A and B are shown apart, each in its own frame.
Chain A
């Protein structure tokens, strides 16, 4: 495969090594708002605060792990178009272990109390499956192993970049790089080894992601309404978590690429491709949501219909439903159809932000009606948004802190192209 040599040196030299003061301050304020909201909620509306956490967890943990699944998927299929944004996906993925720790803390402070099956006698099978010890253990192990696999994947991808960048930076390279590039075997060998390991790890991660996230969807979210079940629900969640990851990669990269000096590497063509993929997943979300809704609505069976009626036909949830459909489907569908708009960074940033808000509200709309029995939308919404601001601050601070100390593009990647269309494929290699 013929490739142009891309000079990634400017991107290495541009690594800022520190976060701008305003980002630090804003992040800290966000975290404080989140903590205060949770504290206040926990004291005043304990159930709603705990449910708000679950709603946020489904959004933020899904987004973090969903993002890292993009480079995983690209490795499986051998795609090259998204190489320039790979690092952003990985940095978001590094936030997943933090979410894991928060979930364990949530269990420790008695978060399981909001699950009705903790207080009711459940029928035979659910009684076996929804045992608190088993519940916590399988989530701790499943999400833990998934997190470790992701860390291995990210470390493997980062290593050759750090090694190559360290040579350019010399003494200025941060100290922790040395431990990540120990026993360096030389550029070519390291790059090849990382590629091989990535190719080996990726299919297992894809498999594991779908299984663990299915379990997470059933356990954390679906079992809040323990008498309801739908076999689309797990796939509906993990596909939309991947979608939220795509959206987050766009938002993070568009807002930091200039600061990190990688603007010329992440061209508008990359966003065009990412936009097409986001559009595809918007359609997929619409498709799976409709398919799930239609079968239940049409079947009209006692054990299923309540979940749907509560969320789509009873106020206040039915109003929120319209907002969710508008933000998650109508707006992105109408706008992302245009080729041009995906190539205008500010417009694309605006659209992806709308989708992110939509998915955030969708998580809320799925989780909260199972817990909030009053017709009051404002209190749980304020709690969830307040905590969401905390997570936003945490993610902003965390991701920028990491990005400020590592190369923001895969500098050692031989296929790293500013524009995939520039890669010339010689017919001789057409059948590799």
Chain B
């Protein structure tokens, strides 16, 4: 980043905010179309009821819950990178954290749709939240599903506030580069930011405080999601290791998604100075660590099930790996999450952009399959063989799953257009300050 001026940073990073390219509009159109397809599928379900999903007793959790957990997991990397790595004073976060944080918020927004889709009568989804009512009806607070409502909504609130705080100086930078109504909008959004010493002092204190506040939430939200399963007595779900294992998996998929999103972005907008192979390599290393945790968890889970000598517990693990219905799901999971990322142990491979991109997508596929493997197989193969069924998703469920990607990418693409996707102020902190001697030399 030598020789780059403050002006050049602002110009380069704010460039996407101005004239949209044809490619951008094309991508946005595609995302909207996919979202519309998902919307249509949901409409079909709303009209005809949950019967259009592939549920059959006793399997009433399927693709929707799988996708809910998948998106919550994706939403982990943002706050991890922005808050935890901030506390660790890790320098590589600077280039990637803004986009990762935005990704977190949109991923949680996507996940938030799924409980409503899953319950069928979406217009009653507000019953999930406790509110004073004349009938004095309250939710079952002893249920982990209820804890989840609080965990996810707290995570969403804090991540959004933290995201916004990080944006303030950059919104002011946009304000200074625009005019008219748009300037007015950014003026309001930047909350009177002038960049004085006093403002920076308070700002940094607030940022540090929120980073510390957000850190435990990264752990808590997916731990609570994991308890949706672990608190039950269903075999293959009831596991003490689930909380750290889910958190590890969530960070794994989140970091992979950051690679998937930012690699094309940095190329399209020619941001090589700000997001480059160093950042992607660091993300790949995070994936290696969390992928290792995940592989360990898979192994220990199988091992302890074997060791337990509990025929039901061991039975479900055997079924997952050998039963004809779900074995391919299990092997997809193992290949995508445990084997494919191993290529990143080789330095040249984790610095190769094509490999980075492909493996990051494989990981995301694998992490969806992991949740599907846990959810579908355990319900389809419970204690009583008379209740064993085969659950397979219908086109409506798959349509909504695909549509959720359209919804997510639409938000992300809109974000790129209206907010700086790289933290302008923090990138400037990495530059050598302009000196009088430079001006003299230039003259």
Q: Which residues does A use to contact B, with CB under 8 Å?
A: 122-126, 129, 207, 210-211, 214, 218, 229-235, 283, 287-288, 291-292, 294-296, 298-299, 301, 303, 425-428, 430-432
Contact = CB atoms under 8 A, between A and B. Distances in A.
B276 A431 contact: yes
Given A214-B300, A235-B300, A291-B244, A430 B91 contact: yes
Interface in B169-225: 216, 219, 223
On chain B, which size bracket covers the interface? 35 or more
A288 B226 CA distance: 13
Contact of A231 (B1, B233, B292, B301): B301
Contacts of B240: 230-233, 291-292, 295-296
B304 A229 contact: yes
B309 A124 contact: yes
Contacts of B216: 283
Contacts of A294: 227, 231
A230 B304 contact: yes
Classify the interface of chain B: helix, strand, loop or mixed: helix
A138 to B, nearest CB: 13
B121 interface: no
A214 B292 CA distance: 14
A296 B242 CA distance: 12
B34 interface: no
B241 A428 contact: no
A229 B307 contact: yes
Nearest to A283: B216
Given A299-B231, A301-B238, A430-B91, A125 B307 contact: yes
A126 B307 contact: yes
Central interface residue in B300, B305, B431, by most chain A CB within 10 Å: B300
A295 B2 contact: no
23 contacts: A207-B292, A230-B241, A230-B304, A231-B239, A231-B301, A232-B241, A287-B219, A287-B244, A288-B244, A291-B242, A291-B243, A295-B230, A301-B233, A303-B308, A427-B2, A427-B430, A427-B431, A428-B1, A428-B2, A428-B432, A430-B1, A431-B1, A431-B276
Interface string B293-305: 0001000110111
A230 B307 CA distance: 10
Nearest to A79: B88
A231 B304 contact: yes
B232 interface: yes
A432 B241 contact: no
B153 interface: no
Classify the interface of chain A: helix, strand, loop or mixed: helix
A301 B244 CA distance: 21
A10 B308 CA distance: 57
Contacts of A432: 278
Contact of B238 (A125, A295, A427): A295
A392 B91 CA distance: 41
Contact of A295 (B91, B227, B296): B227
A72 to B, nearest CB: 14
B322 interface: no
Central interface residue in A292, A427, A430, by most chain B CB within 10 Å: A430
Contacts of B40: none
B304 A299 contact: no
A126 B303 CA distance: 11
A293 to B, nearest CB: 9
A314 B170 CA distance: 58
A369 B304 CA distance: 22
Contacts of A230: 240-241, 304
B306 interface: yes
B56 interface: no
B231 A125 contact: no
Interface string B303-339: 1111111100010000000000000000000000000
B1 A235 contact: no
A5 B284 CA distance: 34
Contacts of B91: 425, 430
Given A210-B296, A431-B276, A291 B239 contact: no
Contacts of A218: 307
Contacts of A229: 304, 307-308
A125 B244 contact: no
Given A231-B241, A291-B244, A427-B431, A125 B304 contact: no
